[in-house]
Structure 1
Amino acid sequence: MHNTALCEQCRDLVVFETAEQKITTEIKGIKFTYLATVAKCPNSDCHEELYVAELHDANIDKMKAAYTLARTETVKKLIDEITEKYNIGKKPLAKVLGWSETTIIRYYNGEQYPVKEYLSMLNSIKDDSRKYRDILEKGKNQLTDVAYRKSKAAVKELRIELPKSEKKIDSVIRYLLLKCEDVTPLSLQKLLYYSQSFNKVFNGKFLFKDDCEAWVHGPVYRETYYKYREYGHNVIDTVKLEKDNFSLSAEERELLDCVVKYFGCYSGKTLEQMTHSERPWSTTRKNLKPDEYSYDKISKDLIETYFREVKEKYNLINPNDLKSYSMDLFKKTPC
């Protein structure tokens, strides 16, 4: 490889220097890091990064290798978590799931990556012990009596340790926090609001009984505010959150996943501006000044009426269609 390249900044052919650079990126939800070799202009007043075809190709190969390794480790960790959590071996797990024993071993060893359907199944039973319990009961005839009893006992023990008196809104909060990265108290309030509103129009009922209030910074659920206000503008810590036993139906989870996907990608301030542009909050605020305190409740009737109109206007057939509405709101949101 010739150590010369064109520096577009200096507009000259230079003998470049190389340096190692740690790069962290994400592909298909998998974060990984690799060490790239980059070329730099040697001129003291420049140091512009240069394009060198050989280095570029080599870095692409490094990235692919690092991604493949990270992807393998992700699946391996996922299978380890499931087998440890439910006290079941890899091959018995495959039998319960209706897979061949060689399939799960290939996944575990990185010889093959799970198809979308199989990966979704692994993730769902990791997070939902009730779903695993149902699968275990259906597939128990595929297991030895000892393997079945050991795994059933592990599931029972998990359920004993879970909270028994959790309010529905708290279950929704846990689900949102675990599914959406970097949630602040402000963004959590707005995700709760959209989850509550769209669940009513798509699934026919509100997710929880709690009412929200028309505060200065948008709809707010008072108890939730006091529970998480210590975080201020910082991200809410999810390390100690229980990751199981959500009191949510499959339809509710699907709705929440779509809210996370199409609204959780925005900052709390952007979500605040979105809710300001909608009728439920603005109507409840009436003629109040922008910074004037108010604890007036936003009526559920007003929420239902408005979001049914949204559903019709944007032709929202199912929760996956929320993308069109969220994007339109974002385009109208002032920077």
Structure 2
Amino acid sequence: MTLKSLIKTSGISAVALAVGLSSFAAQAQDVWRYAHEEFEDDVQDVFAYKFKEYVEDNSDHTVQVFRFGELGESDDIMEQTQAGILQFVNQSPGFTGSLIPEAQIFFIPYLLPTDEETVIDFFNNSVAINEMFPEMYSEQGLELLQMYPEGEMVITTDEVVRSPEDMRGKNIRTMTNPLLSETYRAFGASPTPLPWGEVYGGLQTGIIDGQENPIFWIESGGLYEVSPNLLFTGHGWFTTALMANQDFYDGLSSDDQQLVQDATEFAYDYIIDHISGLADDMLEAILERSDDVTVTRLDEDEIQAFRERAPQVEERFLEMTGDRGAELLEQFKADLEAVSN
């Protein structure tokens, strides 16, 4: 049962529920609750269990991990983290963008490179990510512990697509993220925001004609079964972030804060190795399971037809985020230039 449904059925207020559950959590301080958005053995799950491993090997604390659906959808686990019911949440900017509009910067197409080594170098050294974003997250009661990449975004569709013209009229599922919707409008499609739990059925029934995700998630969720045409446009990487409830983190002893930081670094180092080659392995697994899957990798001229539509998305980002978004975007580009040279 999600927090919202519990409130509805019980008739108690959100504040009362949060206070009661937070009080219960305070009585069990050694148990830290951590929720993420993915399934067993997916990237966020691997990260979570490495974090858990480090904490439990180096302290008396226990980390309880909740996977997708066990505590609701992405908005539910964020709500529970802000209320102090959860201590940690792993969530992508695709959903966090409703709280922190500047986090939608990851959905400006062709901003990030597709080369894995350059992407990782960027996350390791970016001033925008490591210095600017923590302040923005803090304003929402969140301690940003680590942003990290999961994999290149791949579009799946009901038929082979090679151009924005081929996208015209297609209902493409997006996360509930205004800038991602703008990206697909720019690409020629009709963006259709849907929670993750409705995606497979929507593809199966034709309510939506396609969606985007990293290839491991397309494999894990079986999306290729109902959306078998895979399109590599090179337009971006899926990014996620581990956060802690700010009050919880600030209330930790200095030793426990260091423990959290060390556990985060341990999990991050592991996951960077883990994602290397993961996309190729998952694509191979998909192709072994289905003869219906097609793989389309656009050439440079075809990519350019999509890339030339990116400026309108960047312009919309600046309209949504104002001066702070402009400053962030400028720093993003400077950071990317630094790792690309």
TM-score > 0.5, shorter chain as reference: no
TM-score bracket relative to the smaller structure: under 0.3
TM normalised by structure 2 equals 0.24
TM normalised by structure 1 equals 0.24
Larger radius of gyration: 1
Q: Which has the higher strand share?
A: 2
Larger RCO (alpha carbons 8 Å, 6+ apart)? 2
